[in-house]
Structure 1
Amino acid sequence: MAGETGPTDAQFKMIWERNLCPDIEKLMARVDDLEEFQVHPQSWLGEDDTWADPFHVSHAVKQCLVAAVDHLHACKVLVADAGAMHLAAPASLVRGSLENAAAAFWMLHPRDRAVRVTRALQWRAKDAHDEYVALAGINPAADQKKDAQTKRLAEVAAGHSEVDARVLSKGLNSTAMVEYADQNTRNDVKVLLMWRMCSGFAHGRQWAALSWGLRETFPTSNPDVLSVKFTNDLSRIVMMTLTATHLINEVEKLHAKRARR
């Protein structure tokens, strides 16, 4: 992958071993520590939680942050600890990390409390909907549970006129949250581009392998057809994980700002 103007393979290896792997381990230790990510009751986020009670904004953010770090750490374990260099699996894991970090950023970033609370309630409504879709076939009480959650979310939203309750009935998808994170973070952190590339690998799309995979071609019995083998290398893993790590760090900084008194 290395070119005359880009990092060398040795530099990618150094970044991976000296920076990224230790940073990912530190992130995992932080989300595992119950003393981390505390929210002061008189902080911005503490007041958000009061508005959104019992659907605390901080809980939704923490859930997304834990999932983001969990996916990223699994990628590190797969590549660094197990020594495996799969083509699609690292991208699938980083995709999960980017989506969850983007969701946390999307909820935390707005300066307007009403917007933060609205987004957290919308995220909860999506969670309730997805639970219903997944479990309706095996849970006889799925309808009642979804109705109760929907009603309670609407009651909480109605408690503050600034909260836009209309969004609770609208769909929410990962693309919108990733696009928001991409537009509101550093220009050199290509969140949307990397998420789309990772999604291509996660779904087994040919365009992703052709545009970013390493490939070898082999002749077949048909002179007009070649057999192609796609592989991965550390430079691609580094670029993917760097993007996810940068976004998670942005979420950490926002959380610290919103959670302190």
Structure 2
Amino acid sequence: MSAPAPGLGDFSYLGPLFDAAAVHRADDHFVPPPEPAVGSSLAQDDEPLKSWGVANFVRSSLTAGLFHVEALNKLVTVVRKVDPYSPWTLLRCVLENFATAVWLLEGQTCDGRRHRALSLWDEDFRNRAQHEADVHHVVTGPDEKTGEQRRQEVKQLADNLGLCPLSTPRAGEIIVTAASTAGLDPEQTRASWRVASGFAHGRFWPHLRAAEPTGVVSTPGGRLISFQVDDKQLESLATACRTLLEHTARQYASRSTPP
């Protein structure tokens, strides 16, 4: 990680997360984990799920998180201009991405992991159906199906496998479960996520709990308070993201390799 620009502040505590992400970098792209090998536990999980398996969602979540980390890295080391919102917003995405990957990989039973994967696919197709309704999407190809049709296929597959009814995955619950699995404090990790979400949505309360006032400027309508990032709390969030990333990499490698 490059030295911070004068007046920017010292964000070197983000270095371990940037270094952990760089392990997955190759030239101009990130390298996704390989397909699970035949005979591995992950391949066994995914065999009846086909393209709707655990591995595909883990690889997608991992890649998205890595790109968010890189965006923050460039903001700090290349652009060298950090506002009080962007680091929290980016790391919120990172935390959700990596926590989702851990959550998918670490279900206690094969059926439990399949249920988690199909629940995410069900939600994915529900969101797709909402978008298609917004844009008035019309099916044109003979083999094309709508998000709602795909969603019904996912539900039918879950029924065929004897899985309990699919449930809507909740980010807070996923984060708590993943944090516990990875050896993090689940409540502290969720608290970091709540703060990050507050900044991402432009709420007022995060400034009171995770920002440091730096000055007051008089305005025609009153006074404008300047804030800067609370380094200690942002570091805690970055550390949780790194832990989840490294846990995902270890578990994927273990579960995608035959015993």
TM-score with structure 1 length normalisation? 0.82
Give the aligned partner of residue 128 of structure 1. Answer: 125
Contact preservation (8 Å) 2:24, 2:31: no
Tell me if 1:145 matches 2:146: yes
Partner of 2:92: 95
Shift of 1:86: 1.3
Q: CA deviation at 1:237?
A: 4.3
The corresponding residue for 1:155 is: 156
Please list the CA deviations of residues 147-185 of structure 1 after superposition, one character each: whole Å capped at 9, or x if unmatched.
321232133223322x22x11xx4333222112223333
How many Å separate the matches in 2 of 1:89 and 1:124? 29
Q: How does 1:33-112 map to 2 (within 5 A)?
A: 33=31, 36-112=33-109
SS of 1:135's equivalent in the other structure is helix
Report which of the two has the higher share of helix.
Answer: 1
**In 1: Cα distance, 2:172 partner to 2:185 partner:** 19
SS at match of 1:51: coil
Q: CA contact under 8 A between 1:52 and 1:157: conserved in structure 2? A: no
**For 1:231-250, what aligned pairs fall within 5 Å after superposition?**
231-232=228-229, 235-250=232-247
Aligned equivalents of 1:219, 1:147: Cα separation in 2: 52
Residues 1:115 and 2:103 aligned together: no
- Within 5 A, what are the aligned runs for 1:20-35? 20-29=17-26, 32-33=30-31
1:198 to 1:74, Cα distance in 2 relative to 1, 3 A = same
Distance in 1 separating the partners of 2:79 and 2:71:
10
CA change 1:144–1:187 in 2 (3 A) is closer
Q: Matched residues in 1 for 2:176 and 2:17: separation?
A: 24
Partner in structure 2 of residue 200 of structure 1: 198
Structure 2 gaps of 5+ residues are 1-9
State how far apart, in whole Å, the 2-side matches of 1:130 and 1:123 are.
11
Shift of 1:221: 7.3
Change (3 A) 1:20 1:108: closer
8 Å CA contact 2:46–2:55 kept in 1: the answer is yes
Alignment: residue pair count: 243
Q: How does 1:150-189 map to 2 (within 5 A)?
A: 150-161=151-162, 163-164=163-164, 166-167=165-166, 170-188=167-185
Q: Output the CA distance in 2 between the equivalents of 1:150 and 1:218.
A: 52
Residues 72 and 244, structure 1, Cα contact 8 Å, conserved in 2: no
Cα RMSD between the aligned structures?
A: 2.7
Shift of 1:107: 1.1
The one-letter amino acid of 1:145's match is: T
Asked whether the 8 Å contact 2:125–2:148 carries over to 1, the reply is no
In structure 1, the gaps of 5 or more residues are: 1-11
8 Å Cα contact 1:182-1:191 kept in structure 2: yes
The equivalent residue for 1:7 is none
CA-to-partner distance for each residue in 1:57-93, whole Å, 9 max, x for gaps? 2101111111111112211111122212111011111
Give the secondary-structure state (helix, strand or coil) at the position aligned to 2:226. strand
Residue type of the alignment partner of 1:136: A
- Asked if structure 1 preserves the Cα contact closer than 8 Å seen for 2:132 and 2:147, the reply is no
Distance 1:59 1:172 in 2: 17
- Displacement, 1:110? 1.4
Partner of 2:209: 211
